[in-house]
Chains A and B, each alone.
Chain A
């Protein structure tokens, strides 16, 4: 079946496929772990049950996402040995220790304290449990730190020498390797992306529950005896309060963090222009050099054969203004790069625009939520809620598009300008790589399809009230909302403060 195929291309497709699946889960769990720490911290500080309800809801989803992230991550490690053994041999002395630190962090911080987080509340008490949650959040961040350091070194290698065997080996300080020139920018941009991705998922779930509560659906699908779903008014009020709280928190994140991310992305782009100019040329669609200011191509169809962008819609000199902060600054194009060092323009051109477009859509959603908050309609604007639901998966699309931009932009090298992708692969025949690729596609769609379905099912059920009972005689007070149980007629949306 794969006899005529190119083994290198199949190995690249396999890595791209598995890393795209894998990246979804850490992008979610990095943000979710921090969100859980914030929720538990707020619960400890304020004593409001709504934060504990939200914690209990999201911790189950975190556990499933974390498990799928670990499983899909192990496959990545295997591929270094199977399909990319030459790369592993030559870069191992540099990248091996960094990846070992990542594994140690995942082992002893994330996985270890995850057990306490999931099962330890009634054994260790609230403060120690909160410590464990913070350790898990810290662990996800430190894991990201090491993995992004590895990736950044491949983009901007520093602090190395090449020995007689052709291996990259440390030369001088490890600080130069770990904190290579693109690392701080990539770390900030990626971690913020993970936070935004999580915020948009949380916002979508909150919006979905608000729309559901507005339609009175929560009173109909009683199937498991849960008070929130069985039509218990107090339970409904409390789970609706939780939906409001998570939607509000998520929209604050979108409004505040999306603009920060755009600025961080701009700094990352300037750093890329300095160290990997060909990548930026391809992202911008600049086949030709522009000595008197380069235009910003908003849209167009790259034509690699003719080395031009067809049907281009441009803003004159805007690219020079963005990249050099001077509209008349000269900007080199791909005509200054040898053909055998040129990254694939079409993929980069589109992946970059998808990422940027989604970033601005996130900003738009955040601004819309500010308007809604100002008009006291944050919880009463169905189109805003529908938009938030629509934007729920956008963070995942954006991080994958961003990842494609940075990785395809490094081509045709694995270690930028030093080691070509073609010389990094294992000497395997195409059928061997193709068979494992087919196996991965089938297994991934079954395993991760089921995992994703399970996560979506948990999300659609909404926040269920905690196991501790509610005093029916007392008014419910969650997140500054005070609807007494008697005020809640069955089938009606709870009376809640619009200004929360």
Chain B
């Protein structure tokens, strides 16, 4: 099976949901790191 083909059997809403979830997790991880740095600088 070619890369990505397995996902293309899934409905669009599910794939969009995964996209939003991974995007949110990526931004969230960066946000946590930024908050920790901010807290460290303000301490």
Interface: A112 (CB within 8 A) = yes
For window 7-21 of B, CB contacts with A under 8 Å fall at: 7-8, 10, 15-16, 18-19
A391 contacts B by Cβ under 8 Å: no
- Most chain B beta carbons < 10 A, residue from A123, A125, A132: A125
Mostly helix, strand, loop or mixed at chain B's interface?
A: helix
Shortest distance between the CB of A355 and any CB in chain B (Å): 34
B3, B7, B19, B25: the one within 8 Å of A468 (CB): B3
Once the chains bind, are B3 and A121 in contact (CB under 8 Å)? Answer: yes
- Chain B contact-residue range equals 20 to 34
Chain A nearest Cβ from B22, distance in angstroms: 5
Report B1-40 CB contacts with A as 1/0, cut-off 8 Å.
Answer: 1111111101000011011001111110011000001000
Q: How far is the CB of A241 from chain B (nearest CB, A)?
A: 17
Q: Are A112 and B23 in contact (CB under 8 A)?
A: yes
CB pair A114 B15 closer than 8 Å: no
A111 near B7 (CB under 8 angstroms)?
no
Q: How far is the CA of A94 from the CA of B5 in the complex (A)?
A: 48
Once A107-B30, A111-B30, A120-B18 are accepted as A-B contacts, the answer to whether A125 and B4 lie under 8 Å apart by CB is yes
For the complex, is A466 an interface residue (Cβ under 8 Å from B)?
yes
Instruction: State whether A126 touches B8 (Cβ < 8 A).
Output: yes
Residues in A neighbouring B25, C-beta threshold 8 A: 115
Q: Which of B6, B8, B10, B23 contacts A116 (CB 8 A)?
A: B23
User: Given contacts A74-B37, A132-B19, are A124 and B7 in contact (CB under 8 A)?
Assistant: yes
Given contacts A107-B27, A111-B27, contact A128 B37 (CB under 8 A): no
Across-interface contacts of A317 in B (CB, < 8 A): none
Chain B positions within 8 Å of A120 at CB level: 18-19, 22
Q: Is the CB of A466 within 8 A of B3?
A: yes
Contacts of A121 in B (CB 8 A): 3-4, 7
With a cutoff of 8 Å between Cβ atoms, the chain A residues found around residue B24 in the complex are 112
B36 to chain A, nearest CB (A): 12
State how many angstroms separate the Cβ of B25 from the closest Cβ of chain A. Answer: 6
Contact B15 A128 (CB under 8 A): yes
Residue numbers in A under 8 Å from B27 (CB-CB): 107-108, 111-112
Least CB distance from A57 to B in Å reads 14
Question: A115's closest neighbor in chain B, by CB?
Answer: B26
Write the nearest CB–CB distance from B1 to chain A, whole angstroms.
7
Measured as residues with beta carbon below 8 angstroms from the partner, the interface class of chain A is: 20 to 34
Contact B3 A124, beta carbon cutoff 8 Å: no
Cβ A123 vs Cβ B23 within 8 A:
no
Kindly list chain B residues whose C-beta atoms are within 8 Å of the C-beta of A108.
Answer: 27
A114 surroundings in chain B (CB, below 8 A): 26
A276 to B25, CA, bound (A): 46
Taken together as a complex, chains A and B put the C-alpha atoms of A120 and B1 apart, in Å, by: 16
**At the interface, yes or no: A381 with Cβ under 8 Å from chain B?**
no
Task: Indicate whether A113 reaches chain B with its CB closer than 8 angstroms.
Answer: yes
Q: How far is the CA of A115 from the CA of B23 in the complex (A)?
A: 6
Q: Give B37 Cβ to nearest chain A Cβ, in Å.
A: 7
Chain B positions within 8 Å of A454 at CB level: none
**Interfacial residues, chain B to chain A (CB-CB below 8 A):** 1-8, 10, 15-16, 18-19, 22-27, 30-31, 37
13 intermolecular pairs with C-beta atoms under 8 Å apart:
A107-B30, A108-B27, A115-B25, A115-B26, A116-B23, A119-B22, A120-B18, A122-B3, A123-B19, A124-B4, A124-B22, A129-B4, A132-B23
- Not counting A112-B30, A114-B26, A122-B4, a sample of 9 additional A-B residue pairs whose C-beta atoms are within 8 angstroms of each other reads A111-B30, A115-B23, A116-B19, A119-B22, A120-B22, A121-B7, A124-B7, A467-B3, A468-B1
Per CB-CB distance, the 10 closest pairs between chain A and chain B, nearest first, are A115-B26, A126-B4, A123-B18, A125-B7, A125-B8, A112-B27, A112-B23, A124-B19, A124-B15, A115-B22
